[in-house]
Amino acid sequence: MLALAVVLQTPPPDRSIVAEKMKALSFLVGRWEGVGKIQIAGGPRVSSNITENVQYRLSGQALLIEGLGTVKSEDGKSDQPVHEAMGMITWDLAKEKYVMHVMTAKAGAVEPTVEVGDKTLVWSFITSGGNTIRYTIKINEKGQWVGDGEWTIKCEKWLKFLEMTLDKKGS
């Protein structure tokens, strides 16, 4: 009973710290649209239409990012996804760092490392095959979302497989 009384008297963590830390990612919030180029499994680079929808959730304590890139089917009648991902970023009070949970249609679930800078977000993870995948997002001087996806083996040479330039279309 004493342990329960101690737990019940322990004040909850100050969640306002999380919301404050999350403000550093406000540059991403909105609906973004544009074009990109993607290279899949050593094939040719193809142009794609890309949308990224980024919104705060949970009273500003989490940032939800949903991305979709599509190309026209061979018959031109439908859009086929080539890039489809969803991620959530938050501030971990115990670890005192940003954490991100990502799910992609092709790679499944990953928990990358995250670096947040001045209008930049870099996230990376190691694949089951030992390659490192890195995504860099920054807002350029025109206010556009510029994103690159790269991969490497043992950080010897980074090879770009995805690039995009998006314009903000709404909040």
- In this predicted model, what pLDDT tens digit does every residue of 123-158 receive, in sequence order? 999 888 888 999 999 999 999 999 999 988 777 789
DSSP class of residue 10 equals: S
Rounded distance, CA 39 to CA 47, Å?
9
DSSP reduced 3-state for 159:
strand
Rounded distance, CA 171 to CA 167, Å?
12
pLDDT band, very low/low/confident/very high, at 3 (cuts 50, 70, 90): low
The pLDDT of 104-113, averaged and rounded, is 86
pTM of the full structure: 0.85
- Phi then psi for 100, rounded to 5 degrees? -135, 140
Amino acid at position 156, single letter: E
List 88's β-bridge partners, or say none: 64, 101
pLDDT band, very low/low/confident/very high, at 40 (cuts 50, 70, 90): confident
pLDDT band, very low/low/confident/very high, at 5 (cuts 50, 70, 90): low
pLDDT exceeds cutoff 90 at 104: no
